[in-house]
Amino acid sequence: MIDRQRRLLLCTPLLTMLGAGAARSQPAEAQCIVPAQPGGGFDLTCRLAQSALTDGGLLPTPLRMVHMPGGVGAVAYHHIVNQRPADGNVIVAFSGGSLLNLALGKFGNHSVRDVRWLASVGTDYGTVMVRADAPYAKLKALITALKEDPNKIVIGGGGSVGSQDWFKAALTARAAGIPTARMRYLGFEGGGAAMTALQNGHIQVVMGDASEAIQFLEKNTPVRILAVYSQQRLPGRLANTPTALEQGFDIDWPVIRGFYMGPKVSETDYQWWVAAFKKAMSAPGFAALQQQRGLFPLDLVGPELERFVKERTRAYAQLVKEFVLAH
């Protein structure tokens, strides 16, 4: 009797939110697949859901983390589509990098239509950084210098050719009228390594993310942030940093983080998760959970997220075509 009462108490928040009928599809042992090794963005995404859903009383037991590295999400994508398409207990983390790799064809024959897009829990944005003593006070000055002589400016980022940072560099070069073949780009193992190279004078520009930029500022790294690649200015430490759009350059690079489910998950199970994420993201403490993980608000669920994902993937596919990276 005591155990039964305890289970009922654990389920009370969800019963209140969704009603008894929907609560019957509550996941017994919910899992979040992390498409990478422990640590990093995918891990961060699942841990955010773990905090929001478990601590918020929306799950009776803690959301279990399952690490499945490979191909920036490709292995996990294949696993869900082919082996667990109807499993309503499992959500899988994805990022903007996952969508980019779908556009690049790195998920094999799979497309964005092969899964059910569930919820986004936040986003990051691209940034352009130079040393604090660099001669570029604004993005326009850097663009002008690239246009005059691209050989004098080496751009670094946390990824090789075809990565998100590479694409940010390619868009910046395009704004200067420079073909990617003339752009000098060096890929590093993460943004920290690229910043070290910048401080040592090996490169002149770092393409990074807003969350990284904030960390550098908080550590008093001598860095100047020329622009954020977002449609609007960001809150907090970067509130005074103008967007590229403000400065006359049409560059926008959101780095979304969220979840999807298998293509054959029942509508009842899917809607349970949709309602659970809506409830979690409307909770007073959710904004703080995002901020702790360096994310900015982008709270989309269900059809809203699906539209966003398809739009971004189409945009990525067009960039792939323009930069001749498709294979």
Residue 178: give its domain's CATH number: 3.40.190.10
The reply to whether 57 and 69 lie within a common domain is yes
Q: How far is residue 100's CA from residue 164's CA, in Å, rounded to a whole number?
A: 8
Together in a domain, 159 and 207: yes
DSSP E strands: which ranges in the chain?
A: 31-34, 64-67, 90-95, 116-131, 154-157, 184-187, 205-209, 223-229, 254-261
Could you tell me if 269 and 316 lie in one domain?
Answer: yes
Q: Retrieve residue 82's tokens.
A: 């082919």
Question: Is residue 63 a part of any domain in this protein?
Answer: yes
Within-domain flag for 211 = yes
Does residue 214 sit in the same domain as residue 108? no
pTM above 0.75, yes or no: yes
Cβ atoms of 89 and 25 within 8 Å: the answer is no
Q: Is residue 133 within a helix (H) or strand (E), and if so which, with residue range?
A: none
Residue that finishes a domain, picked among 238, 271, 304: 238
User: 204: which 2 tokens?
Assistant: 């002149």
Question: Residue 113 is encoded by which pair of tokens?
Answer: 């239509």
User: Which CATH number characterizes residue 82's domain?
Assistant: 3.40.190.150
Among 238, 267, 286, the domain-final residue is 238
pLDDT at 325: 63
Residues 133 and 231 in one domain: yes
Has residue 246 been placed in a domain? no
Report if residue 51 sits inside a domain: yes
pLDDT of 294 = 86
Question: Cα separation of 79 and 76, whole Å?
Answer: 5
Specify the pairing of strand 184-187 against strand 64-67.
unpaired
Distance, CA of 318 to CA of 309 (rounded, Å): 14
| Claim to verify: residue 17 and residue 107 sit in the same structural domain | yes
Domain span holding position 149: 125-238
pLDDT value of position 7: 40
Instruction: Compute the C-alpha angle 323/197/234, nearest 5°.
Output: 65
281 within 8 A of 257, measured Cβ to Cβ: no
φ, ψ dihedrals at 160, nearest 5°? -85, -170
Q: Kindly state whether residue 243 falls inside one of the protein's structural domains.
A: no
Assigned domain for 327 exists: no
Backbone angles phi, psi at 292, to 5 degrees: -60, -25
Domain total for the chain?
2
Convert the pLDDT of each residue in 250-261 to its tens digit. Answer: 999 999 999 999
The DSSP string of 272-303 is HHHHHHHHHHHSTTHHHHHHHTT-B----BTH
121, 21, 20, 13: which is closest to 60 by C-alpha?
13
Q: Which residues of the chain have pLDDT under 70?
A: 1-25, 324-327
